Amino acid sequence: MAVGKKDISAPPYAEGTSLSDEDIKKKKVTYVEDHPNIRYSWTAGQAVSKFLNELKKGKIAATKCNKCRRIMVPPRVFCELCYKPIDEWVYVEDTGTVQTFSISYIDPDAKPLEEPVIVAVISIDGASKNMGIMHVLGEVKPEDVYIGMKVKAVWKPEDEREGSVTDIKYWKPLEG
Amino acid sequence: MRVAVLGVGYSGFNTNTPDLNWKELMLEAAVRAYEDAGINPRKDVDSVVTCAEDFWEGFAIFDEFVPDQLGGVLKPTCTVCSDFLYGVATAYMQIKSGLADIVVVEAHSKASDILTFGEVIKFAMDPVWLRDIGNAHPYYFAALEMSQYVSECCINEEQIAEVVVKNKNNALLNSSAPYGAKVTVEDVLNSPMVFDPMRKIEIAPVSDGAVVFVLGNEFVAREITDTPVWVKGVGWWSETSNYDTMSFNAMYAYKAAKMAYKLAKITNPAKEVDFAEVDDRFAFKELQHIEALQLSRKYETGSLMQEGYFARDGELPVNVSGGNLGVGNLLEATGGQKALEVVLQLRGLAGKRQIEAETGVAQAWRYIPTASGTVAVFGV
């Protein structure tokens, strides 16, 4: 049922006749369908290649700008504020703080999810303020999540890692 | 208020760029352009214009990905979904109107990231009307146009071959042109007929690269240099999106050139333009575009090509850089590479391929399946 429909009190004549899935399947509406086969393979580049390869080792790599003194995650080869090359690579922790989150109940096709997905931006320990990663939280009930919650990465087993942001399965609350 | 080119930078051009992603490619070109202009983008730039098409990139709302690598964080930034020269036109208007003193224009190609190039081009076809017709690679769209053009204008295959020979040999003098080759007319005629009447070698293969221009008003230009290159005129024009009703004679380039020449106060292009860089992503397109830019008369272009009139040492050199046949199809950076060559030539920085010139024209088409394009006139 459409969200909010119950609150609408339109007279019957104003409701009209809506299209049903059946009408579309029977081609009562004239349309053309296409399923294009368009595929890409994006070069990761200097900074992100190193970042992804370090994830394989279970480490989070960051870059540092000595002018503004920011430690940047995800790493980049240049500081976008100072517009100069970065100065060095450093490692940051695989722990952090929930900066913002959303408990998401609906999938991209607008269908309900069986279990909600808790998406969060995590400010990573060791990186500059508001620098971190957008990822998902696990091992936590939706009602227990809060901004400022300390979390830790849960990694895939080493032999299953492939140099992807999903090498971290999720972030779980750091107890204590 | 005149508009000047304060600096240019580029990265590439290469058949592949496995070491850099598209952001780093843009960064490399931008850093060089800012160095060339002697400006600090964080302080001096008023506006950033990039030219990109989401389907070439492989992700949507590309304009959101632009500011960082161009030094444009927290600055007015916009993306024109088209060729680099449309970006030059946009910057030109921003400067002319007094909205900005210094504007950055960027375009790039990371064509090597696209795994299904033909399918992406097909995605530009009208889905109801054109997309499902036949299963050939959409390069045939260019061949359809070529077939009609060569028949209407009495162009023979040797004349088309001369375009390939000229551009691929010109490219040998350009270290940034990956498809340069010592080919002869015979070699071209031996190339397989892949989209009859079009041969494989007449089609520009894709390449990677980025181009960044820093444009500015007259006052800024005078502070930086005594001899600026000016953007003397810009023009753009579209015909129709219907492949079955297009004129197939590059009206878009003719009209865009008219607009640009008017601004540049050029009344006799064949006499007043010293050289041109035109879109030759299919060899016949060069002949068609030369005519459309009024650099030669209809029915003469083919024979002038054979006589060497458009050669590097000819009366009116065309595609001294090697054109797309030599440099490659740079997607939305195509016009950027052309404008870059014009500016390098006008500044005397073209190295081994340097020619003597004071006025040059850059022209780009929006590629198949379009009848749209743009023209920019540069001069000293």
Question: What is residue A18's predicted lDDT score, i.e. its pLDDT?
Answer: 79
Question: Between A and B, how many CB-CB pairs are < 8 A?
Answer: 72
In this structure, which topology does domain A45-173 adopt according to CATH? OB fold (Dihydrolipoamide Acetyltransferase, E2P) (2.40.50)
| Rg, chain A, Cα only | 23
Question: What is residue A21's predicted lDDT score, i.e. its pLDDT?
Answer: 85
Among A38, A65, A79, pick the best mutation site for testing chain B contact (most B Cβ within 10 A).
Answer: A38
What are the structure tokens assigned to B298, written together? 């209809």
For the CA atoms of B285, B288, B290, B295, what is the dihedral angle to 10 degrees?
180
Provide the phi-psi class of A126: left if phi over 0, else alpha when psi is between -120 and 50, else beta. Answer: left
Q: Within an 8 Å CB–CB cutoff, is residue A72 touching chain B?
A: no
Burial of residue B254 (number of CB atoms within 10 Å: 0-12, 13-18, 19+)? buried
Contacts of A7 (CB under 8 A, 6+ apart): none
Contact state of A80 with B128 under an 8 Å Cβ cutoff: no
Q: What is the pLDDT of residues A72-84, one digit of tens each?
A: 999 999 999 999 9
Q: Within an 8 Å CB–CB cutoff, is residue B18 touching chain A?
A: yes
Domain extents in chain A: 45-173
Residues of A in contact with B127 (CB under 8 A): 32, 34
Q: How far is B373 from chain A (nearest CA, A)?
A: 25
Residues of A in contact with B29 (CB under 8 A): none
Backbone angles phi, psi at A134, to 5 degrees: -95, 125
- Looking at the partner chain, which of B18, B115, B131 has a beta carbon nearest the beta carbon of A34? B131
**Global pTM value:** 0.93
How high is the ipTM of this complex?
Answer: 0.91
What are the structure tokens assigned to B101, written together? 């003193």
Contact state of A80 with B71 under an 8 Å Cβ cutoff: yes
Contact state of A81 with B18 under an 8 Å Cβ cutoff: no
Q: Within an 8 Å CB–CB cutoff, is residue A139 touching chain B?
A: no
**C-beta of residue A98 within 8 angstroms of C-beta of residue A92:** no
Residues of B in contact with A83 (CB under 8 A): 40-42, 71
CA distance B87 to B81: 9
End-to-end Cα separation, chain B, in angstroms: 15
CA distance B210 to B316: 27
Q: In degrees, to the nearest 5, what angle opens at C-alpha A146 toward C-alphas A144 and A147?
A: 170
Q: Within an 8 Å CB–CB cutoff, is residue B112 touching chain A?
A: yes
Q: In degrees, to the nearest 5, what angle opens at C-alpha B36 toward C-alphas B30 and B42?
A: 50
**C-beta of residue B213 within 8 angstroms of C-beta of residue B202:** no
CA distance B87 to B68: 18
Q: How far is B176 from chain A (nearest CA, A)?
A: 21
Among B17, B22, B23, pick the best mutation site for testing chain A contact (most A Cβ within 10 A).
Answer: B23
Looking at chain B, list the stretches that DSSP marks H as alpha helix, in order from N- to C-terminal side: 22-37, 41-44, 54-57, 67-70, 84-96, 117-122, 140-152, 157-170, 185-189, 218-224, 251-264, 269-272, 283-292, 301-307, 323-327, 334-346
CA distance B238 to B366: 9
Q: Which amino acid is at B264?
A: A
Count of C-beta atoms within a 10 Å radius of residue B258: 18
Contact state of B73 with A80 under an 8 Å Cβ cutoff: yes
**C-beta of residue B109 within 8 angstroms of C-beta of residue B331:** yes
CA distance A165 to A56: 9
**C-beta of residue B158 within 8 angstroms of C-beta of residue B189:** yes
**C-beta of residue A89 within 8 angstroms of C-beta of residue A54:** no
Question: How long a stretch of residues is chain B?
Answer: 380
State the DSSP code for B351. Answer: G
Contact state of A41 with B123 under an 8 Å Cβ cutoff: no
CA distance B327 to B206: 9
Q: Within an 8 Å CB–CB cutoff, is residue B116 touching chain A?
A: yes
Contact state of A77 with B24 under an 8 Å Cβ cutoff: yes
Q: Within an 8 Å CB–CB cutoff, is residue B122 touching chain A?
A: yes
Q: Tokens 């998406």 sit at which residue?
A: A119
CA distance B360 to B212: 18
Contact state of A43 with B17 under an 8 Å Cβ cutoff: yes
Query: Is pLDDT above 60 for A176?
Result: no
Name the nearest CA neighbour of A116 among A129, A128, A106.
A106
Q: Within an 8 Å CB–CB cutoff, is residue A44 touching chain B?
A: yes
Question: 54-83 in B: which are within 8 Å (CB) of A?
Answer: 55, 58, 67-69, 71, 73
Q: How far is B365 from chain A (nearest CA, A)?
A: 23
Q: How far is A114 from chain B (nearest CA, A)?
A: 28
Q: Within an 8 Å CB–CB cutoff, is residue A34 touching chain B?
A: yes
> How does pLDDT run along chain B (380 residues), one tens digit per residue?
899 999 999 999 999 999 999 999 999 999 999 999 999 999 999 999 999 999 999 999 998 999 999 999 999 999 999 999 999 999 999 999 999 999 999 999 999 999 999 999 999 888 888 888 888 999 999 999 999 999 999 999 999 999 999 999 999 999 999 999 999 999 999 999 999 999 999 999 999 999 999 999 999 999 988 889 999 999 999 998 777 778 888 999 999 999 999 999 999 999 999 999 999 999 999 999 999 999 999 899 999 999 999 999 999 999 999 999 999 999 999 999 999 999 999 999 999 999 999 999 999 999 999 999 999 999 99
Scanning every residue of chain A, which has its alpha carbon at the shortest distance from the alpha carbon of B68?
A: A80
Question: What is residue B380's predicted lDDT score, i.e. its pLDDT?
Answer: 95
Query: Is pLDDT above 70 for A13?
Result: no
Domain extents in chain B: 3-114+206-224
Question: What is residue A1's predicted lDDT score, i.e. its pLDDT?
Answer: 44
Query: Is pLDDT above 90 for A12?
Result: no
Among B27, B77, B104, B206, pick the best mutation site for testing chain A contact (most A Cβ within 10 A).
Answer: B27
CA distance B48 to A162: 37
Question: 76-115 in A: which are within 8 Å (CB) of B?
Answer: 76-78, 80-83
CATH 3.60.60.10 fits B3-114+206-224, yes or no: no
Q: Within an 8 Å CB–CB cutoff, is residue B222 touching chain A?
A: no
